[in-house]
Amino acid sequence: MASEYSTRSDIDTAVATSRDTFRGGRTKDVRYRKWQLKQLYWLVADNRTAFIEALHKDLGRPEFESRLSIKGLEDDIIYHVKHVEQWAKGETPKSGFLFTKIGTTHIRHEPRGVVFIIGPWNFPDSLTLAPLAAAIAAGCTALIKPSELAANIADLVVRLAPKYLDSDSYRVVTGGASETQYMLSHKYDHVFFTGSTPVARHVAAAAAKHLTPTVLELGGQCPAIITKSANVDLAAKRIAAAKFMNAGQICLSVNHVFVDSAVHGGFVKRLQHWNQQFTSEGENDTMCTIINERNHARLEGLLNRTKGKVVYGGTGHDHNLLKMKTTVVDNVSMSDSLLSEELFGPLLPIIEADYKRAVEIITSMPHPLALYIFSHDQSEIDYVLNNTLSGGVTINDALLHAAVPEVPFGGVGDSGMGAYHGKHGFDTFTHKRVVTGMPDWLDRFMGFRYPPYNLENSSPITAFPKAPFKRGESLEEQLVGGGGLKVFGVLVVLGGIGAVAAWVGGVNVGWLVEWIGFR
């Protein structure tokens, strides 16, 4: 495969062409963006069968899972087509009389420029082409590098892209670690990476040399918490299903489970039951393969070193076919081999702990991309939410918060930075450029701004503001929520009284307001 990778000359040409195209302004035209988004849609829709077959060759993925991934990608592209014109219009802020009535202020939504998108191997279709849809919508040009580990999808995208997309604007480049390192030596206007945290550190370091902004879509050890109030059977069913999907090779997948001792035994039994149900027709025929020998060996090594008790699976792994059975390991400690790194596979360690102890452990570790809470007690849910931080949360299910339309998807800390999906992807590749204009005639009233300065003439401008609150307030006196509305209502009433009084008897309204303590 290495001989088929992009050469340095290919990469140089792709970067230069993308840069020249962007400078020419072609991609800024909203009609062009719509056209290319529609072409991207047809690239996928016309070749659904080819994508399904390539995903099966690369990952052994069952057609159902592939169809879900492709459908999600098509839905996302259509959403961009429908909204790109609205998003591209920019914004007019509410910035006061001077800047929006006398003058003008507008926020232009400008494309950042040339972007570099590095796709992952676990969802090499959607997680590579969805960021491209956002870049097209924003008016950028792009270099797209599919993962070399999903070679069949990479080959398909290389073959299809020039047939559907404008090759001057959107180029597919290929390669392994050395080629990617060379690609990152070039200056881009944005780098979008999906992959592991260790590789992300290299990507971020390379981008930092050019002060290039990045989005890093990573992963982490995503925990699930099963409290004593949870629906244990449904929790086991949904976690088992999430772990089965893509053989656990999902950045959002449940990495390990904390289970309250009151429901621990029942949860483990139901987990065994649902795993048996999901694999009753032959696991090797329906479950994805592990991506390569290195990762298969890594997972086997972690399992061989565990001090926990294997209660389901653990045998029958096929190294030649890169198959691995779903394996549940109970009585695992936090120092166990299975918790030494992100698993990214069909292994599921169980830790016996109540939700408060689980929170202590979670907060001692890097922030995960996802957190899953299974509970029917709102106080338990609130405690977990108020005392942890993660990229996203799903309550009483798994994975679903990433499927909600028009909400940001991304990590925090070691699980990533930046976000996309819907308009959030458009915003990622967009620079918000403020443009303010003032009329010439205003200058006759603005003499105070020019040297030599005269404080007497500029006193209305240089006067310091009066705080709309009292000195020495306590924490208990702070108003939030409805309290602010009450104050607003009082001000409206008093303002009305003052206006009537001034109209009737010439009362000094400023004195009245100062007298009641609001100035």
Q: How far apart are CA 87 and CA 193, in angstroms?
A: 23
Q: Hey, what's the torsion of the CAs at 34, 36, 38, 44, to 10 degrees? A: -150
Question: Do 271 and 232 touch, CB atoms closer than 8 A?
Answer: no
Tokens standing for residue 95:
């910035």
Catalytic-role residue among 140, 251, 283, 352: 251
- Minimal CA–CA distance to 33: which of 66, 101, 89, 81? 81
Question: Do 113 and 18 touch, CB atoms closer than 8 A?
Answer: no
- Minimal CA–CA distance to 152: which of 54, 70, 66, 63? 54
Q: Is residue 17 classed as helix, strand or coil in its secondary structure?
A: helix
- Could you tell me which residues come within 8 angstroms of residue 19 by beta carbon, excluding any fewer than 6 positions away? 113, 114, 141
Tokens standing for residue 175:
């390669």
DSSP characters for 124-184? TTHHHHHHHHHHHHHT-EEEEE--TTSHHHHHHHHHHHHHHS-TTTEEE----HHHHHHHH
Strand partners, 417: 216
Tell me, rounded to whole angstroms, the distance of Cα 397 from its chain centroid: 19
CA neighbours within 13 Å on the CB side: how many for 128? 28
Q: How far apart are CA 132 and CA 175, in angstroms?
A: 18
Catalytic-role residue among 179, 217, 342, 380: 217
- Could you tell me which residues come within 8 angstroms of residue 333 by beta carbon, excluding any fewer than 6 positions away? 307, 308, 339, 351
288 is catalytic: no
How would you label 159-175 residue by residue, b for 16+ Cβ within 10 Å and e otherwise? Answer: ebbeebbbeebbbbbbb
In the numeric block, the tokens 């050395």 are attached to 178
217 is catalytic: yes
Tell me, rounded to whole angstroms, the distance of Cα 100 from its chain centroid: 34
- Where in the sequence numbering do the catalytic residues fall? 217, 251
